[in-house]
Amino acid sequence: MKFEILHLKRRLKYLCLVLALCVAVIFSILLLARRTNSSPDKYKFIRLETNALSTLSEWRNHSVDRYIIYSCNGRIGKVHCSGWGNRLIGIVALYILANVTDRKLGIIMDNPCNLTDFLVPNIYNWSVSAESLAGRSSIFIDVRNNHGFTNSLKKLNFNAEFPQDVVYIASNQDYHFPLFKNKLYRNRLHWITGRSTALIYKHILEILFKPHHNIQRQLDVFLAKIKKDPDRTLTCAQIRLGKNPTIPWDNRALNTLESVRMIWRFFRQRRPTSWIFVTTDSQEVRDEAKSMFSMNVLDTEGEIIHMDKAYRGDICRGMTKLILDQWILINCDTLVISASSFGRIPAFIRGTPFGLYLFANSSITPWNPFRYFIH
């Protein structure tokens, strides 16, 4: 009896050792995979996950008889559509709304300049002209910053409320959360379950947009400089001060020149092995970066503008810089962003939390927007 117990103990001990070894091997494999995939290909726009691309691509270009149009057209100063980051939020929201309501999404934006001179359709064709929609029943609704409308989408039958052929909408809020709660549309949104808001944005924006050939050419030239020295990385910062002498019409202040010193210290830790790129709403910050980091700094041409407050200068050249800068941020090995939708969008498209930091309250902290999932 004692012999059998001793034999059983030895067998259990042996099984425990084998199990521990298996766990260690699995953990090592996972750790290696994480390191292998810890940063995106810094010269490529990250491709969609196969399943997500398949699901979203199957969303057909619905009946051409009914449209939802993201609308931002009219004279500068008379029409306000929010900044570029908030416009992208509205476009993503309307893409989802159009698909769950069996409508086709179109984008008409000529304020401050024609969008199709900078971005063009990628997989989904959103290009449409106002002339082609003439004669159809239509309505325009401005629901920017309208939390009441956003919350109503939890129960609203959109086509019953807006039966018109064409619904022109100015929007700058997320709609996927309330639409996911709407029993009329929930089954059409099954693909977002288990995905973060960051991945939802990444997938949809990849479907909608690619750079116009003029933007792509400038992006290729910029990245070619980095490719010449593969041992150097690209460290970037999107620094938004808010109201400042360059953009005096902004309605709030986010950061100060003094707090930006924190980013300069962050950059110094990466010299001389990294290129430095800074996009900002402050000419003073832009000049200071060039002065402090000299030959390590890469910059893009053009004036600094706020897209909704483009009151002076070469506005379309400034819009080129704005959109080009955002596409550069997607390619950064290390990216520091302000609490701003302009910076969050490329952080989402970049597709990884590794090397991603948030600059807020005079501090820089790691940021992972991919960990919050929809259930």
pLDDT tens digits, 164-213 = 999 999 999 999 999 999 999 999 998 888 889 999 999 999 999 999 99
Please determine, for residue 370, whether its predicted confidence score (pLDDT) is greater than 80: yes
Q: Cα separations (Å) of 86 from 97, 170, 350?
A: 17, 11, 18
What is the largest distance, in Å, between two alpha-carbon atoms of the chain? 95
Distance in angstroms (rounded) separating the CA atoms of residues 165 and 298 = 48
Distance in angstroms (rounded) separating the CA atoms of residues 74 and 112 = 8
For 191, other C-beta atoms within 10 Å of its C-beta total: 16
Residues 6+ apart with CB under 8 A from 117: 212, 214, 316
Distance in angstroms (rounded) separating the CA atoms of residues 336 and 357 = 5
Distance in angstroms (rounded) separating the CA atoms of residues 263 and 236 = 10
Give 222's pLDDT tier (boundaries 50, 70, 90). very high
Backbone φ, ψ for residue 10 (5° rounding) = -65, -40
Axis-axis angle for helices 315-330, 213-227 (nearest 10)? 50
Q: What's the chain's average pLDDT?
A: 84
Distance in angstroms (rounded) separating the CA atoms of residues 307 and 320 = 11
pLDDT of 252 reads 86
Q: Where are the beta strands (DSSP E) in 176-325?
A: 209-211, 233-239, 274-280, 297-298
Residue type, 138: S
Match 């399943």 to its residue by tokens. 51
User: Does residue 70 contact residue 106 with C-beta atoms inside 8 Å?
Assistant: yes
The percent of residues in the chain predicted with pLDDT above 90, rounded, is 66
- Taking residues 279-284, report their average pLDDT: 96
- Which range among 76-80, 184-188, 204-208, 248-252 shows the weakest confidence by mean pLDDT? 76-80
Q: Cα separations (Å) of 339 from 152, 173, 335, 347?
A: 27, 16, 13, 11
Please determine, for residue 13, whether its predicted confidence score (pLDDT) is greater than 80: no
Highest-pLDDT range among 17-31, 39-53, 354-368: 354-368
Please determine, for residue 319, whether its predicted confidence score (pLDDT) is greater than 60: yes
Closest C-alpha among 170, 179, 207, 267 to residue 52? 207
More confident residue, 180 or 50: 180
Closest C-alpha among 246, 236, 266 to residue 362? 266
Residues 126-142 pLDDT 10s: 999 999 999 999 999 99
Backbone φ, ψ for residue 237 (5° rounding) = -140, 135
- Taking residues 249-260, report their average pLDDT: 90
Distance in angstroms (rounded) separating the CA atoms of residues 222 and 219 = 5
CA-based torsion, 305, 144, 340, 367: positive or negative: negative
Instruction: Write down how long the chain is.
Output: 375
> H or E element: which one contains 334?
strand 334-338
Please determine, for residue 1, whether its predicted confidence score (pLDDT) is greater than 60: no
Q: Can you read off the two tokens belonging to residue 135?
A: 């004669």
pLDDT of 80 reads 73
The percent of residues in the chain predicted with pLDDT above 70, rounded, is 79
Helix (H, G, I), strand (E, B) or coil at 45: coil
Distance in angstroms (rounded) separating the CA atoms of residues 127 and 319 = 19
Give 78's pLDDT tier (boundaries 50, 70, 90). low
Axis-axis angle for helices 197-208, 50-57 (nearest 10)? 60
Q: Can you read off the two tokens belonging to residue 179?
A: 């639409």
- pTM: predicted TM-score of the whole model, two decimal places: 0.83
Residue type, 218: Q
